[in-house]
């Protein structure tokens, strides 16, 4: 009845987790390292067990909570005009 590592799809799980974290509102007292710590701890557990494909998405999630990537520009918005472009 145990599942193998091949049954686990880390990218799909990470996407679902990210969506869930974005929709949940955390209380004001919760800080990023409080939220990231369980991901890191579970990643460390799987790493010790030799299940790196389970550990890596957890480590990456912890890192993305602590150090979020810069915002991406929206491709649906028109490009911003610089002052040089406005004068031409």
pLDDT attached to residue 5:
47
Burial of 10 (0-12, 13-18, 19+ CB in 10 A): middle
Instruction: Record the pTM.
Output: 0.52
Mean pLDDT check: name the lowest of 4-8, 50-54, 75-79: 4-8
pLDDT at 72: 73
Q: Average pLDDT of the chain?
A: 76
SS (H, E, C) 51-80: CHHHHHHHHHHHHHHHCCCCCCCCCCCCCC
Torsion on CA atoms 45, 24, 73, 75, rounded to nearest 10: 110
Tell whether the model's pLDDT for residue 23 goes beyond 70.
Answer: yes
- Interval 6-22 mean pLDDT: 64
Cα–Cα distance measured from residue 49 to residue 79, given in angstroms and rounded to the nearest whole number: 49
């Amino acid at each position: 009845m145990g599942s193998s590592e091949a049954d686990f799809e880390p990218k799909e799980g990470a996407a679902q987790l990210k969506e869930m974290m974005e929709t949940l509102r955390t209380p004001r007292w919760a800080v990023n390292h409080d939220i990231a710590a369980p991901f890191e701890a579970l990643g460390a557990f799987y790493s010790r067990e030799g299940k790196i494909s389970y550990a890596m998405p957890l480590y990456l999630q912890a890192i993305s909570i602590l150090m979020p990537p810069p915002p991406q520009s929206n491709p649906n918005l028109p490009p911003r005009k610089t002052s040089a472009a406005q004068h031409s």
